[in-house]
């Protein structure tokens, strides 16, 4: 059911806007806040068979928080990328792919109730060792590829279906903003940067940019014939 509109905006969007003012002093973040360096050629990702980072940590973490004013401000201010054009058949016609090649234990499900701004966890947390390759699930354009507050090193893609997919807590980013990717393009490596209790991938899908417009990431992938 659609959210009720209040003077032209939704209740969720009002909550998201309020948290931009209130979020920073409450949440903060941990880790190295330096922007990562993208791959020299973002269109050519590393070989998917690359082994994980030598400094592998055992997986098993989850999110310390799922809202961060710094990230929301960056995402709101990011230039709107060009959509995947019909002529880009090499991208638009590709099949969808899972974000991880191997099965991963879910350490926090979508919509687990908790003390978050919208009252629940907005993504799904997948426990994998640090350095595990992370892939684009479909064709899209990189909106953000940088340090993203509590999400740590993160990549946000605008998909060909206009959804936004967030990959959080990465240890390494392999794409640059503005790059066009297709299903199976390696976008980075899993980690525990930002507010995280241990190595994992936070996978989040939004219908629109603002916090609170999230949709079920498991059902989103299932519509494309995929499971986590």
pLDDT digits (tens, 9 = 90+) for 4-63: 443 444 444 434 443 332 233 222 333 333 333 343 333 333 344 444 444 445 556 777
State yes or no: pLDDT of 119 exceeds 60. Answer: yes
- Lowest mean pLDDT segment, chosen from 68-77, 112-121, 190-199: 112-121
Angstrom distances, CA of residue 100 to CA of 72, 105, 131, 135: 25, 11, 12, 6
Give all strands (DSSP E) within 37-111, no chain letters.
105-108
- Lowest mean pLDDT segment, chosen from 30-44, 158-172, 176-190: 30-44
Which carries the bigger pLDDT value, residue 32 or residue 228? 228
Over residues 89-99, mean pLDDT: 74
pTM: 0.71
Cα angle for residues 5, 8, 13 (degrees, 5° grid): 65
Q: What is the pLDDT of residues 105-118, one digit of tens each?
A: 999 999 898 777 77
State yes or no: pLDDT of 169 exceeds 90. Answer: yes
CB 141 within 8 A of CB 181: yes
- Lowest mean pLDDT segment, chosen from 25-39, 65-79, 121-135, 153-167: 25-39
Which carries the bigger pLDDT value, residue 219 or residue 24? 219
State yes or no: pLDDT of 99 exceeds 70. Answer: yes
The dihedrals phi and psi of 26, each to the nearest 5 degrees, come to: -85, -45
User: Domains along the chain?
Assistant: 5-222 (2.70.70.10)
**Both structure tokens of 214:** 């999230």
User: DSSP letter at 150?
Assistant: G
DSSP string for residues in 164-203: EEEEEEEEEE---TT-EE-TT-EEEEEB--SSBSSSBEEE
Average pLDDT, the chain: 76
Which carries the bigger pLDDT value, residue 70 or residue 24? 70
Distance between first and last Cα of the chain: 26
CA distance 48 to 168: 19
Residues of the chain with pLDDT > 70: what percent?
66
Over residues 56-80, mean pLDDT: 75
State yes or no: pLDDT of 194 exceeds 70. Answer: yes
The dihedrals phi and psi of 28, each to the nearest 5 degrees, come to: 60, -165
State yes or no: pLDDT of 86 exceeds 50. Answer: no
Confidence of residue 217 (pLDDT cuts 50, 70, 90): very high
CA distance 75 to 83: 16
């Amino acid at each position: 059911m659609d959210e009720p509109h209040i003077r032209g905006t939704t209740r969720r969007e009002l909550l998201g806007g309020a948290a931009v003012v209130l979020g920073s002093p409450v949440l903060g973040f941990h880790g190295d806040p330096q922007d990562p360096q993208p791959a020299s050629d973002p269109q050519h990702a590393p070989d998917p068979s690359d082994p994980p980072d030598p400094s592998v940590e055992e997986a098993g973490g989850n999110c310390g928080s799922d809202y961060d004013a710094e990230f929301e401000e960056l995402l709101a201010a990011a230039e709107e990328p060009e959509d995947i054009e019909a002529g880009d058949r090499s991208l638009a016609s590709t099949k969808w792919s899972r974000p991880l090649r191997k099965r991963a234990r879910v350490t926090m499900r979508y919509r687990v109730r908790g003390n978050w701004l919208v009252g629940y966890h907005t993504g799904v947390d997948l426990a994998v060792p640090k350095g595990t390759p992370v892939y684009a699930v479909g064709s899209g354009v990189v909106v953000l590829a940088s340090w993203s507050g509590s999400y740590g090193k993160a990549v946000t893609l605008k998909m060909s279906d206009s959804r936004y997919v967030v990959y959080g807590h990465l240890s390494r980013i392999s794409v640059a903003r503005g790059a066009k990717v297709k299903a199976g393009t390696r976008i980075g490596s899993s980690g525990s940067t930002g507010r995280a209790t241990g190595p994992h991938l936070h996978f989040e899908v939004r219908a629109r940019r603002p916090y609170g417009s999230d949709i079920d990431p498991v059902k989103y992938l299932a519509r494309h014939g995929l499971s986590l």
